[in-house]
Amino acid sequence: MQTKFEKIINGMYIDPLIFTQKFVKGCDVCICSGECCYYGVYIDKKEYEKIMSEKDKIIIYMDDSQTKSPEKWFEEPQADNDFPSGTAVGTEVHNEKCVFLDKQGFCTLQKMALAEGEFKWKYKPLYCILFPLVISEGVLTVDDEHLNDMHYCSKLVNQISTVFDCCKNELKFLLGEKGFEELDIYRKEYFEKIDIDGSKIEAA
């Protein structure tokens, strides 16, 4: 695959946009009610199977704004090479939000994990965890199209941080500690290169 990106970590090209893209300081559903979850998400077939294997428990943590009929939770599978299995499954939207989002803006899958004393992302699909990061055509980048639809996170007045700084835990989850350390080194190298190139341009 031809790409304009040069750095590869864990088999993925890295888009330096993740270092420079402005973003909110942190995720707070009390402010936005989980707006990024309104539209549902595409998940890997294996993630779908994992969720469906836990459907009886998931229903217990749903509220009256959600459908408790598992057959209404997902769209039909479709081929997609951005997913490890080669197959993506979309979550359905119910009451104008993802079927797994409760009326307070909390993810039912994450609520269940916490209630069980498990790691909060045990049941949560990868792309739910990563937003606004996304892996597209083998490149770790920013889902700017989706981000621009957000009423809170897309406003410049709220973007006092960067995607990288806000999503360090998510990046560590994706890449592992060693991969994240490599990413951080690349980030510093990238900014040093920008400074050098900028100086050359100014001198010219």
> Digits of tens for pLDDT over the chain (204 positions)?
446 899 999 999 999 999 998 876 667 666 665 667 788 899 999 999 999 999 999 999 999 999 999 999 999 999 999 899 999 999 999 999 999 999 998 999 999 999 999 999 999 999 999 988 999 999 999 988 767 666 555 656 665 689 999 899 999 999 999 999 999 999 999 999 887 554 443 333
3-state secondary structure 67-118: CCCHHHCECCCEECCCCCCCEEEEECEECCEECCECCCCCEHHHHHHHHCCC
Residue count (the chain): 204
CB atoms closer than 10 angstroms to residue 55: 13
**CB distance 47 to 126 below 8 Å:** yes
In 3-state terms, what secondary structure has residue 134?
strand
Residue 116 C-alpha from the chain's centroid? 23
Q: Global pTM?
A: 0.84
Q: Where are the domains of the chain?
A: 7-36+125-192, 42-118
